[in-house]
Structure 1
Amino acid sequence: MLVDLGEAKKRAEELRKEIEKHNYYYYVLDSPVITDEEYDALYRGLVELERRFPEIITPDSPTQRVGGKPKEEFRKVVHEIPMLSMDNVFTQEELQSFVSRVYRILEREVDFTTELKVDGIAVSLVYEDGRFVLGATRGDGRVGEDVTENLRTIKSLPLRLMEPLPGRLEVRGEVYMTKEDFASLNRSREEDGEPLFANPRNAAAGSLRQLDPNVTAQRRLRIFVYQVVHPEEYGLFSQFQVLSWLRNKGFPTQGNERLCKNFEELWNYIEEWKEKRHSLAYATDGVVVKVDDLTAYEQLGTTAKAPRWQIAFKYPAEEQRTRLLRIEVSVGRTGALTPVAILEPVRLAGTVVQRASLHNEDEIKRLDVRVGDYVYVRKAGEIIPEVVRVDYSARTGQERPFAIPENCPVCGATVVRLVGEVAYRCPNKSCPAQIKESIKHFASRDAMDIKGLGEKIIEQLVDKKMIGGFADLYKLKKEDLISLDRMGPKSAEKLINAINSSKNRPLSRLIYALGIRYVGSRTAEILAERFKSMDNLAKADIQDLSDIPGIGPQIASSIVAFFRDEKNLATIKDLARCGIKMAEEESERQEGPWEGWKIVFTGELEKATRNEAENIVKYLGAIPSSSVSRNVAFVVIGRNPGSKLAKAQELGVKIVDEQTFWKLVDEAKSKKGN
């Protein structure tokens, strides 16, 4: 076991490099070279080292990607070189005019680098001596907002460069959200009765500008980098060369760029990707065309808002007219009733569309859409088909208005609409539709990750009454599964093994899998870290939960309500009886001069983050507490202390300011022999 601080520091640095290398393989190259379990072991090893030796934590450690304190507002950042927007063209003729203008100004022909235009939000990233130190939005082009802590949560963004680079480096890129993650986010918001994002760009922008980095972390943002500021300092004189250089430094790039020697090659690239772009994991709405010769940029210059050395060719927005045959109502995991338009088949964005979301009854009334109408359909974010408008001129008078049914279409329960929500809900927790969706969520990748338990199998298991809840999964036998359609002995055995393997998932996965409203995967991690066991979490009250950074009153109320429901508690007991792990493994307890003390923090500290301060008191043997009681050793107050200060004064608990706290820490470390 490591006991020497120097040895621990060296080992931590080795682990950080190893973890960042595997982050690069996984998130940038999409080609992992180790298993998830091996990666988790590396990460846990680093977490444990930093827990035992808080002094060795660095800002660029992979453990510091998430969990910053919510900001009251974003600091303004002035861009040294303005982040200008792009002019757009929409036709072959307009693009030809752009190329001809470039040739005329430069008095020579030049090559162009073509890159797909990602539907995201532009950001600037600053590195000092190879370490990420600042990230900002474009803002108005000259002044942006400091979103450094939120950008740290993006796992594909390197916190340190693969190759050391002295001095200051600024690069620029695009933060985006994949189609799958965009669809998943909107499904969750629809279930929770929250407004939907119109497209991945809006979702990425809204996520990046969250005041709480913990919320950003749950949104699965990605990034592509495409520009180096002051490229000449690195011997870069070609945009095509820049992209290769960025990849070599460990930055994620699209990888679909092409060097085009003339207009014909340029137009062929645009035509090639017109349909092919729909197969990408992310949304694209065009092609960015850049003069490849970076030394020509100064001569070409800029307009007031856009550079003359690049242009965006925008593909036409794709909408199709078709007939709405009927409206069906689906029931989701939380019981939300969602109207779905069943359409005459129409080809849209590379696929045949027969169903489109109508979101809720309010949206149907806003559109005044009726069964039998001719409607225009598009794909939000190129993935979610939705009805955008009605062709009222085609009405014959035979069209029929629609209203949400009074009873659940699956179980017949009387539906309800809660105050302040747009969604109608089925209140019956035993509704087969809710059970199917809940089990689908329980088995999903970020939850219990039961590989092979797909939608079709879940439907059969529920319809045949072989399962009615989470715990029933762990009571299934091989012979039960063989009776299902398309399930042979080998497949059945493989699925049983996958179900059994899920019993040892981390506590955070189980918390997320339970489907507590408003509790995403990152919130589940925060809860697991704080409470260590399902039993402790079940006993927490609203105050305990609200005191945790990243847990607001809405989430706290939802968690408390969940654990007050006897059916939910019975489900958890059933899972425990099936052998599901209900607590984090106890790590080696620290011994120190503050052994057994309970210490509470309130307000914002200047010398360290809340997480860093709590790690230090753990190192000295104390227990960080989220609530004030008479058995607390003392309460540390920072700037703008909250209600805990009044509670401490009321109970007569010792109160110390931050300066006194650090003096006490130094004294305690001396006693411990550091």
Structure 2
Amino acid sequence: MQKQAARSRIDELVKTLEYHNNLYYNQDSPEISDYEYDMLLRELENLEAEFPEFRSPDSPTNRVGGSAGEKFSPVVHAVPMESLHDSFSEEELRDFDRKVREVAPAARYVVEPKFDGLSVSCEYRNGVFTRGSTRGDGTTGEDVTDNLMTIKSLPKRIANAPAFLEVRGEVYMSFKSFDELVRRQEENEEKPAKNPRNAAAGSLRQKNAKITAERALDIFVFNIQQVDGMTLTSHRQSLDYLSELGFPTSFYTVCDTIDEVIEEIRKIGDNRGEYDYAIDGAVVKVDDFSVREQLGSTAKYPKWAEAYKYPPEEKPTKLLDIEINVGRTGVLTPVGIFEPVLLAGTTVSRATLHNRDFIEEKGICVGDTVIIRKAGEIIPEVLSVSEHAENAVPFEFPKVCPSCGSPVSQDDEAAIRCTNTDCPAQLTRHLIHFVSRDAMDIDGLGPAVLEQLIAENLIKSPADLYRLTADDIIALDRKAEKSANNLIAAIEKSKDNELYRLVFALGIRNIGLKAAKIVCENFLTIDDIMNAKAEDFEKIDGFGSIMAQSLENYFGLESTKELVSQLKELGLKMKPSEQRASGGIFEGKTFVLTGTLPTMKRSEASKLIEQHGGKTSSSVSKKTSYVLAGEEAGSKLTKAQTLGIPVLSEDEFLKMIND
């Protein structure tokens, strides 16, 4: 390649990788597969090796992971959390082995599975878990102690512990937990998580630890970063010690030769479909710590370890049929039915085809041979058509709803919807959403019970839930009197919910839980909301025209007015959310909180701000009025000082309130 072309390609790759780095590490929302990313990074590495004069100090090949975000306090790692160099072939593994044996001819290796999750550090003082942080850029991460506290398998206290211990682990979401999360998201017609890794990362970086707790995260601990009072000489010894202390560790194998290493990697790859967690490769580490010191590290990678990445598995199969599912808001979603095929350890026979545009763009016809893979090794997806069936006929979307026979229409979002708001398919999914935890939170009303109630014509709308009696429940199959009474009690309890839960439960298009809360902070009663126009909603900070119009359209329907009227008559309190005080000393002021305050939690400070008319934000901008800063304030404090925004200590903040 000519120099000018190489420089142009290097610049292009750097920009592309920085974009995808941000999506993967900071947004937890990648657009390309790990394999596609790895291939781009490998291309950049090769070009920089050939043309070193074009390699910049901040190249993605020199950096580890993402950056520490502003949602959490920064944590500087005393021991850097390094990344690993990747291999994609046996030849590359043998090359790694040759380099190791040039320094240590008798080196032994430990081979472990490579977990596909989020790397974290956990610190223990005198056996007590005191702080946990993400890897971040390898040097500085985010303090996620409260969220790590919700992981049941992570010890909070350890017996016979050293004075100080720092361990490194990988937070992950099991396939079972991931399937449950996706099921809830699909029922609510939310964008489902792409794979367990993104779901785990997004869950661990929630500001509300209660949400993290609901996601059932888990962890494997695989390294000791620091330990006081004892000497460890090998990786195998450290793994056994971690297990003795009660940390969840994974299996490992000690190998004397590179042939044994390759055989173990093949075995892990062959068995990965049997694990209840995602792995994307295997890790090879030199066992002896003294040999590791001799080998050292590059700017980004240790020279004593290598990660082998498994390639994504793609297979052909025949598309037997296309089914149409009707969602909660009436969206018709095509689902491909395939000849069963074993893919990444599990049998695949179904996959979403997303919408009509997706089918038309790929030219998919029933009977075609298609290439499928698992996105992130989990969710089956159709990549392309490899061979059209003889006399293939393009698939035509139905013009009527397959559930109720009503006409369908296409909206501005390219979604095709059933026009019948009383459609049975919509009713089931709507009620599942209505009773869900974040909505009306009616314990015991699962999908199976709701389907029975609908089949018996006992409920045709959310209002009918509040007309049920214990006798109605007992009449259903396998329902005892005690469980029937418990269910009626749960329904009765839900009448006292705050208003925002009901607004969210109604399933209004484009209005999620956060939007519902904001609406109810700005409008005191359900009548206020129903009487408001789009322009009134647009005055709410953070609301756009689409959300505002969705609210006006929904509450303008006669069917909505009738439903709300019935719910009032049935005793729903529709209690207003706690209102932000008006006329307080902080009215019109926006605060950003950062660092650890001396005597109060951030949640307590936020409540005080709202009680005095102000509001809080997670990021510093020119619109920020004050930054309330404690210890280890980090980047938010720096940005505030750069912008000239007043910075308050806790004492100054409390003095403003008292004065």
TM-score, normalised to structure 1's length?
0.64
Whether 2:613 is the aligned partner of 1:624: answer: yes
Query: 1:108 Cα shift?
Result: 2.7
Give the partner amino acid of 1:311.
Answer: E
2:370 to 370, 375, 385: 375
The equivalent residue for 2:404 is 411
Give the partner amino acid of 1:408.
Answer: C
Corresponding residue SS for 1:347: strand
The equivalent residue for 1:229 is 225
Work out whether residues 173 and 197 of structure 2, in 8 Å CA contact, stay in contact via their aligned partners in 1.
Answer: yes
Give the partner amino acid of 1:497.
Answer: N
Work out whether residues 408 and 426 of structure 1, in 8 Å CA contact, stay in contact via their aligned partners in 2.
Answer: yes
Work out whether residues 117 and 173 of structure 2, in 8 Å CA contact, stay in contact via their aligned partners in 1.
Answer: yes
Q: In the TM superposition, what whole-angstrom CA distance separates every residue of 1:199-257 from its partner, at most 9, and x where no partner exists?
A: 444566678899x989997995946354443457864544455557768999xx65323
1:666 to 645, 655, 658: 655
Whether 2:369 is the aligned partner of 1:385: answer: no
The equivalent residue for 1:459 is 451
Whether 2:321 is the aligned partner of 1:326: answer: yes
1:497 to 477, 483, 486: 486
Give the partner amino acid of 1:362.
Answer: D
The equivalent residue for 1:468 is 460
Work out whether residues 113 and 291 of structure 1, in 8 Å CA contact, stay in contact via their aligned partners in 2.
Answer: no
Corresponding residue SS for 2:374: strand
Work out whether residues 358 and 364 of structure 1, in 8 Å CA contact, stay in contact via their aligned partners in 2.
Answer: yes
Query: 1:128 Cα shift?
Result: 9.9
Work out whether residues 113 and 240 of structure 1, in 8 Å CA contact, stay in contact via their aligned partners in 2.
Answer: no
Superposition map of 1:41-190 within 5 A: 81=80, 83-90=82-89, 102=100, 105-110=103-108, 112=110, 114=112, 116-122=113-119, 131-132=130-131, 135-138=134-137, 147-148=142-143, 156=150, 162=157, 172-174=168-170, 176-179=172-175
Give the partner amino acid of 2:104.
Answer: L
Kindly, what percent of the aligned residue pairs are identical?
Answer: 36
Whether 2:357 is the aligned partner of 1:362: answer: yes
Work out whether residues 124 and 170 of structure 1, in 8 Å CA contact, stay in contact via their aligned partners in 2.
Answer: yes
Structure 1 CA distance for aligned equivalents of residues 212 and 539 of structure 2? 19
Structure 2 CA distance for aligned equivalents of residues 547 and 161 of structure 1? 46
Structure 1 CA distance for aligned equivalents of residues 455 and 493 of structure 2? 28
Query: 1:433 Cα shift?
Result: 0.9
Work out whether residues 186 and 197 of structure 1, in 8 Å CA contact, stay in contact via their aligned partners in 2.
Answer: yes
Query: 1:373 Cα shift?
Result: 0.2
Whether 2:486 is the aligned partner of 1:488: answer: no
Q: In the TM superposition, what whole-angstrom CA distance separates every residue of 1:420-464 from its partner, at most 9, and x where no partner exists?
A: x23222232211111111122234455455555444443343244
The 3 A distance-change label for structure 1 pair 660 and 374 is closer
The 3 A distance-change label for structure 1 pair 562 and 423 is same
Structure 1 CA distance for aligned equivalents of residues 87 and 418 of structure 2? 47
Corresponding residue SS for 1:439: helix
Query: 1:535 Cα shift?
Result: 6.9
Q: In the TM superposition, what whole-angstrom CA distance separates every residue of 1:353-379 from its partner, at most 9, and x where no partner exists?
A: 332211112221222111110112223
Query: 1:77 Cα shift?
Result: 7.8
2:591 to 599, 604, 609: 604
* Unmatched tracts of structure 2, length 5 or more: 1-68, 626-645
Work out whether residues 191 and 334 of structure 1, in 8 Å CA contact, stay in contact via their aligned partners in 2.
Answer: no
Work out whether residues 365 and 395 of structure 2, in 8 Å CA contact, stay in contact via their aligned partners in 1.
Answer: yes
Corresponding residue SS for 1:81: coil
2:254 to 260, 279, 284: 260
The 3 A distance-change label for structure 1 pair 243 and 413 is farther
Whether 2:428 is the aligned partner of 1:439: answer: no
Q: In the TM superposition, what whole-angstrom CA distance separates every residue of 1:590-613 from its partner, at most 9, and x where no partner exists?
A: xxxx99958524233578898544
Structure 1 CA distance for aligned equivalents of residues 92 and 311 of structure 2? 14
Corresponding residue SS for 2:418: coil
Number of residue pairs matched by the alignment: 555
The equivalent residue for 2:575 is 583
The 3 A distance-change label for structure 1 pair 497 and 102 is same
Give the partner amino acid of 1:616.
Answer: L
Structure 1 CA distance for aligned equivalents of residues 179 and 335 of structure 2? 15
Corresponding residue SS for 2:419: coil
Query: 1:341 Cα shift?
Result: 0.8
The equivalent residue for 1:571 is 563
Query: 1:324 Cα shift?
Result: 0.8
My pick for the range that moved more, 355-364 or 573-582, is 573-582
The equivalent residue for 2:622 is 640
Work out whether residues 173 and 200 of structure 2, in 8 Å CA contact, stay in contact via their aligned partners in 1.
Answer: yes
Structure 2 CA distance for aligned equivalents of residues 661 and 137 of structure 1? 28
Query: 1:289 Cα shift?
Result: 3.1
Structure 2 CA distance for aligned equivalents of residues 552 and 177 of structure 1? 34
Structure 2 CA distance for aligned equivalents of residues 663 and 121 of structure 1? 38
Work out whether residues 415 and 426 of structure 1, in 8 Å CA contact, stay in contact via their aligned partners in 2.
Answer: yes
Structure 2 CA distance for aligned equivalents of residues 205 and 155 of structure 1? 15
Structure 2 CA distance for aligned equivalents of residues 177 and 669 of structure 1? 46
The equivalent residue for 2:280 is 285
Query: 1:489 Cα shift?
Result: 4.6
Structure 1 CA distance for aligned equivalents of residues 109 and 213 of structure 2? 41
Query: 1:321 Cα shift?
Result: 2.1
Query: 1:156 Cα shift?
Result: 3.7
Corresponding residue SS for 2:613: strand
Corresponding residue SS for 1:466: coil
Structure 1 CA distance for aligned equivalents of residues 125 and 554 of structure 2? 46
Work out whether residues 235 and 289 of structure 2, in 8 Å CA contact, stay in contact via their aligned partners in 1.
Answer: yes
TM-score, normalised to structure 2's length?
0.65
Structure 2 CA distance for aligned equivalents of residues 669 and 270 of structure 1? 65
Work out whether residues 147 and 204 of structure 2, in 8 Å CA contact, stay in contact via their aligned partners in 1.
Answer: no
Query: 1:270 Cα shift?
Result: 5.1
Q: In the TM superposition, what whole-angstrom CA distance separates every residue of 1:525-565 from its partner, at most 9, and x where no partner exists?
A: 77778889767776788799788888777656655655454
Corresponding residue SS for 2:575: coil
CA-atom RMSD in angstroms: 5.5
Structure 2 CA distance for aligned equivalents of residues 669 and 374 of structure 1? 73
Give the partner amino acid of 2:83.
Answer: L
Work out whether residues 372 and 380 of structure 2, in 8 Å CA contact, stay in contact via their aligned partners in 1.
Answer: yes
Q: In the TM superposition, what whole-angstrom CA distance separates every residue of 1:3-46 from its partner, at most 9, and x where no partner exists?
A: xxxxxxxxxxxxxxxxxxxxxxxxxxxxxxxxxxxxxxxxxxxx
Structure 1 CA distance for aligned equivalents of residues 528 and 200 of structure 2? 35
Work out whether residues 127 and 170 of structure 1, in 8 Å CA contact, stay in contact via their aligned partners in 2.
Answer: yes
Superposition map of 1:199-278 within 5 A: 199-201=195-197, 220=215, 222=217, 224=219, 225-231=221-227, 235-240=231-236, 242=238, 255-258=249-252, 260=254, 273-274=268-269, 277-278=272-273
Structure 1 CA distance for aligned equivalents of residues 125 and 78 of structure 2? 16
